[in-house]
Amino acid sequence: MEMPLHALLAGAWVGCVLVEALFERALLGQGRDKELILARLHWKVDLFIEGPLLASVAVTGLLIVRPIFAAQAVDVLLQAKLVFAALAILANIWCIRLVKVRLNYAEAGEWEAFERVDNSQHRWGALVLVGLLGSAILGLVR
Ligand code: HEM
């Protein structure tokens, strides 16, 4: 039961990240009023959807991996999967922090600082996607 739930939640997380990428592309550079809406929207999605998905994927993943560790049956594919999973989780937590910092700058009208954090958030976002796709592919092929 845990495994399909884990895969379902992981798929929802990937979908959430892809939708975020689309609304970022649609609203960035369309004027400060749109960028303020974007910053607020992204923070809400992180808080109510992406954050809970991330946490539930980590919890279900750890529940699945515990007996495998206990049986000392961690093979190289699973090790690689866990590295990608850790990358996805840590990079995404950092991204969520950057989304909040970016929102604070947008609300304060500090647009130079907003741009700086925005650039960094998109670079970390690309790493999240690498981690997600790596864990999904290795989870499925194992
Ligand atoms: C703390 C983080 C995670 C842990 C500990 C973890 C652990 C695991 C384990 C142990 C398996 C079973 C592998 C097997 O025995 O064949 C698995 C399967 C899987 N994981 Fe994760 N995982 C984590 C995060 C992720 C992430 C971030 C994704 C990608 C979005 C992901 C996607 C999958 C998928 C698609 C499967 C295959 C499920 C199936 O075949 O039904 N996992 N995971």
CA angle at 88 for the pair 84 and 92, rounded to the nearest 5° = 165
Atom 7 of ligand 1, residue of closest alpha carbon: 61
* 50 ligand 1 Cβ < 6 A: no
Measured between alpha carbons, how far is 38 from 43 in angstroms, rounded to an integer? 9
Measured between alpha carbons, how far is 24 from 19 in angstroms, rounded to an integer? 9
Atom 1 of ligand 1, residue of closest alpha carbon: 58
pLDDT in 10s for each residue of the chain, 142 residues: 789 999 999 999 999 999 999 999 999 999 999 999 999 999 999 999 999 999 999 999 999 999 999 999 999 999 999 999 999 999 999 999 999 999 999 999 999 999 999 999 999 999 999 999 999 999 999 8
Residue type, 120: S
* 60 ligand 1 Cβ < 6 A: no
